[in-house]
Amino acid sequence: MDVRGQVGIITGATRGIGKAIAEGLAKNGVNLAIAGRNIDAAKEVAAAFTVFGVKAVGIKLDVSKPEDVIKAFEDVEKEFNRIDILINNAGITKDGLLIRMRDEDWDSVIDTNLKGVFLCTREAVKVMSRQRYGRIINITSVAAFMGNPGQTNYSASKAGIVGLTKTVAREYAVRGITVNAVAPGFIQTAMTDVLSDRVKEDMKKIIPLGRFGTAEDVANAVIFLALPDSGYITGQVIHVNGGMYM
């Protein structure tokens, strides 16, 4: 199950679920590129993980910008000589009921959540194909499966990730690259902190395990899929949602 010495890149790793995934990988000995739009925050997170004895660097990356993505992957390959693990985690919400949803709120959510996954995956498979090894894990959402009022853009972007995951899994299996998705339910992070107490209480009522998830709950599933021994799992979605969707 050893991932020590491997190299992972995590997008949107400056806080929340991405940061918890990065910490879990660092504890398992994975060298890391911590990617985020805010380079100072990315460097700060990277510096904190060196206590686990790994090499970790912060890199500036807006996943919705093709030029940023190309440069970031070039820089990571130069720095570490390989890329074993890509976690496509960066994501945003711009909620609003369909009738009031502005074009720019649709576009920015699709560009970050779905096009960002496409751009990063396209760069990563170039490196992973040469290595004949790779683990790609995409963070989708329970909203892709259940829908959620006010999240036409978000649920469409996350459902798109599921289709992308299965197609890339089929295209790259022959190169030793597995591609899977993790679908969190309601997880306590900055993304959900903004919701009203009423919405949170309503959500909790539909979670059989009776609590919101933590970023670590999601990280545990992601790390499992990132292990070399998970190599016979590809094109799958693991749901981490306390049973709210089954």
- Minimum Å gap between C-beta 66 and ligand NDP is 12
Residue 43 as a binder of ligand NDP (CB under 6 A): the answer is no
The residue from 1, 99, 174, 190 that contacts ligand NDP (CB under 6 A) is: 190
The residue from 24, 58, 184, 242 that contacts ligand NDP (CB under 6 A) is: 184
Using the contact rule CB under 6 A, the part of the chain among 24-32, 37-45, 49-57, 122-130 near ligand NDP is 37-45
Please identify which of the residues 133, 154, 172, 245 carries the catalytic annotation: 154
Which neighbouring-strand residues pair with 151?
Answer: 96
What is d(CA 151, CA 26) in angstroms, rounded to the nearest whole number?
A: 33
The residue from 39, 48, 191, 203 that contacts ligand NDP (CB under 6 A) is: 191
Q: Which of the residues 194 through 233 are near ligand NDP (CB under 6 A)? A: none
Q: Which is nearer to ligand NDP, 13 or 133 (CB)?
A: 13
Which neighbouring-strand residues pair with 182?
Answer: 139, 238
Smallest CA-to-CA distance from 45 within 76, 14, 91 is with 14
Residue 14 as a binder of ligand NDP (CB under 6 A): the answer is yes
Residue 121 as a binder of ligand NDP (CB under 6 A): the answer is no
> CB neighbours of 174 closer than 8 A, spacing ≥ 6?
none
> Catalytic: 232?
no
Residue pair 137/226 in contact (Cβ under 8 Å)? The answer is: yes
Could you tell me the CA-to-CA distances from 229 to 4, 32, 94, 134, 225 in Å, in that order?
A: 13, 20, 37, 12, 8
**Chain residues that interact with ligand NDP, rule: CB under 6 A:** 11-12, 14-18, 36-38, 41, 61-64, 89-92, 112, 139, 141, 184, 186-187, 189-192
